[in-house]
Amino acid sequence: MIKKPTQSPRRYAADNVRASAPKQRPYDVIVIGAGPAGYASAIRCAQLGLKTLCIDSGCNKKGQSCFGGSHLNAGCIASMTLLESAKIYHLLHHGINKHGIHADNISVSIRQLIQRKDHIIDKLSQNIAELFVQNNVDSIHAKAKLINARSVEIIPIDGSTPSIIEAEYIILAAGASPIELPCAPVDNEFILDVGAALNLTTIPKRLAIIGAGIVGLELASIWSRLGSETILLEAQETFLNLTDQHISREAYRIFSEQGLELRLGARVISAKKGNKKVTVEYLDQEGAHALRVDKLIVAIGRKPNTENLVAVEANLLLDENDYVHVDENSRTNLPGVYAIGDLTQLGPMLAHKGIEEGVFVAEQIAGLYTPINYDKIPNVIYTDPEIAWVGQTEQTLKSIGENINIGIFPLNANVRAQALGKTEGLVKIIAHAENDTILGVHIIADQASDLIAEAILAMEFSASSEDLARTIHAHPSLSEAVHEAALALKNRTLHLPPVRSSTRAS
């Protein structure tokens, strides 16, 4: 039975919580982790009348409790905030004159940039804490370990005596951490992890980043705009191989023209500190090379935070990569125990995916059921311009023999993009050749993360490209590029000359 809370929400220090009697279950739900997946799940559980406790061990720079997980504190939100500052600085140096505006003696205080970022993070974390209070979610600042399907051990941050608390349901939402690279051991002085890379207080003159994936590119976009000579070392021979090849080629061209040095097929074999520099040795098709830089960032991906999350005797099933094994409903092999967000391989490691899973699991527990459509989850890279996509790529569809049509519209033909001075990029729509159903939308453009929302809604309702083409869009607006790409599928764009065929390969 769903029980309504009978008292005000509480914020506990872990050492105030004592072991309850073995069969007492004061909570309906315990959520471990207060990142996007965890806090969304806890809030939705409470909205549905479930007495809910969220346990989180996150701390800010001052050692204080800080909700939001790595996504807020050392991930996308922190990165995106710094990039906005970097874009303003870069514009003042490279392009403001085009507007007839002239500025002299422009300087940047990296410390103030970091302070602004920290202030925003603290405010957003406090917002989550307030939402917990407003939604009657109790919370404890501590580490937590799953003991069995009904019990969680609370481990105080200060090392004092642990205690046990029980619930009918337990939701694991502990997130993920950066993968370490043995040949480049992080010291966070010269060889940095992602968190340290978002807290530098000086601009490196020369910067190398291991990994040219999503995180590596986002970090490169920040520091290159602030003046660092930035080199990305990517072990893969192809660039952004998860994206549509047309988009990845366009991104490679744009980022190279911006000054990013992209070295593909570069496998790092060692990184050594010396004389306040880092010497990076790597191999590629041409042989061995050495690169000397001021700072080196390791950004090769993330791993699930399952270490020390679960007691061995709990017998929770993990896969060979230490992800929690779940079914299509986020259920683990333990009855009443769920895992969501970055802990599982069900869908990509994205904050919005975790949020939706958190809501989905909460509603399952409350007897509601609205499954997640993992095929319609948007992917976003917060670079400048942004990259966003949903659905299938051209190469995937062709590999399975799907008969498709393609419509492409470049941003340099969009009126609003010209007014903004943001003409780099394109919109690409892929539709089924017979029934015109939209199969994939791929965007590299300013505000691509917002533009992709229209495509997701259209695909969620099984819209055709003709539906998009006949939807009135504001003029002038960036969203018109989506409209024109839909028109391009029928070779009737209004702001481009006609082409011979809309079925051409990219």
d(Cα 120, Cα 73) in Å, to the nearest integer? 10
Crossing angle for the helix pair 214-225 and 245-258, nearest 10 degrees?
20
Which pair of tokens denotes residue 209?
A: 């980043």
Q: With a cut of 60, say whether residue 20 has pLDDT above it.
A: no
**Location of structure tokens 């890279």:** 381
CATH number of 385-488: 3.30.390.30
Q: Domain map of the chain by residue range? A: 25-69+136-177+303-375, 191-300, 385-488
SS3 254: helix
| DSSP H or E segment with residue 11 | strand 11-13
- Fold match, 25-69+136-177+303-375 / 191-300: yes
Which pair of tokens denotes residue 146?
A: 């799953």
Q: Which residues in 202-219 are b (16+ Cβ under 10 Å) and which e?
A: eebebbbbbbbbbbbbbb
Which of these is catalytic: 93, 475, 483, 495? 475
Q: Are 277 and 293 in contact (CB under 8 A)?
A: yes
Condensed to tens digits (0 to 9), the pLDDT of residues 37-87 reads: 999 999 999 999 999 999 999 998 888 889 999 999 888 999 999 999 999
Its CATH architecture, for the domain 25-69+136-177+303-375, is 3-Layer(bba) Sandwich (3.50)
d(Cα 142, Cα 21) in Å, to the nearest integer? 20
Non-local (6+) Cβ contacts of 200 within 8 A are 110, 114, 192, 223, 295
Known catalytic residue at 90: no
Q: With a cut of 80, say whether residue 267 has pLDDT above it.
A: yes
Region at 211 (left for phi over 0; alpha for psi -120 to 50; beta for the rest): left
Q: How many CA atoms lie within 13 A of 22 on its CB side?
A: 1
Q: What is the pLDDT of residue 62?
A: 83
pLDDT confidence of 25, banded at 50, 70, 90? Answer: low
Note the helical H segments in 290-431.
351-365, 394-399, 415-420
Condensed to tens digits (0 to 9), the pLDDT of residues 214-263 reads: 999 999 999 999 999 999 999 999 999 999 999 999 999 999 999 999 99
d(Cα 428, Cα 442) in Å, to the nearest integer? 5
How buried is residue 462: exposed, middle or buried, by Cβ count under 10 Å (0-12/13-18/19+)?
Answer: exposed
In CATH, 191-300 is 3.50.50.60: yes
Query: Alpha carbon of 266 to those of 221, 286, 347: distances in Å?
Result: 20, 10, 28
d(Cα 438, Cα 344) in Å, to the nearest integer? 28
Condensed to tens digits (0 to 9), the pLDDT of residues 294-342 reads: 999 999 999 999 999 999 999 999 999 999 999 999 999 999 999 999 9
Condensed to tens digits (0 to 9), the pLDDT of residues 191-222 reads: 999 999 999 999 999 999 999 999 999 999 99
Stretch 417-440: mean pLDDT, rounded? 97
Crossing angle for the helix pair 110-134 and 76-93, nearest 10 degrees?
140
